[in-house]
Amino acid sequence: MKRAEIAAMIDHTLLKPESTAADVAALVAEARDLGVKAVCVSPSRLPLADVGDLVVATVCGFPSGAVKSEIKAAEAARAAADGAHEVDMVIDVSTAVSDDFAAVEEDIRTVREAMPTEVVLKVIIESATLSDAQIVGVCEAAERAGAQFVKTSTGFHPAGGASLHAVRLMAETVGGRLGVKASGGIRTAADALAMVEAGATRLGLSASAAILADLED
């Protein structure tokens, strides 16, 4: 794949809690220079200035997911009001590892219904903590609840980030009906290309500039 094709799949991401307003402004400027799809920042950093044609993404229930659904919903609604085009929510991972997919679905639906229909919802499943059957169950719950994407990881969990196996399984489960975002630990162009080959349709990256520099125009 060419550089521009990969750039069009990237959520250029800065979610470190110590990131300053100046850091976020630099991220936006770099994203515009790189020609990526989106920027993803913490909700307290919204609204963003000078985004041009960039998609603005943020997170909710981040990074643990262990937050009441109504709190996640309020956070997502406020983010949408502050200019977010996309919200990446973290599921309550405890419900997934307990195989309570009805609870997973209800959590996601509560957030989905709190936002305008045009705001895209991505569901972070922390795939490294789940069995294959649980990954499938969570992806199916996300689809039933009206999400537009499933996403591998926050990048903050000690169990790890994206894996090729998880991305393949997620892509097979949603069958093109939802997007698949690979995020967490993708640091090289080879990593990014492998994730796309496995079925990722969006990439959450903090090393976007270095990765794109290694791709052909």
Give the residue numbers annotated as catalytic, written as ranges: 88, 151, 181
CA–CA separation, 113 vs 111, rounded Å? Answer: 5
Which residue from 84, 38, 34 is spatially nearest to 62, judged by alpha carbons?
84
Residue 111 three-state SS: helix
DSSP code string of 170-197: HHHHHTTSSEEEEESS--SHHHHHHHHH
- Asked if 156 contacts 66 with a C-beta cutoff of 8 angstroms, the reply is no
Instruction: Give just the sign of the alpha carbon dihedral 14, 170, 74, 154.
Output: negative
Q: At 40, which amino acid appears?
A: C
- What letter does residue 24 receive in the DSSP assignment? H
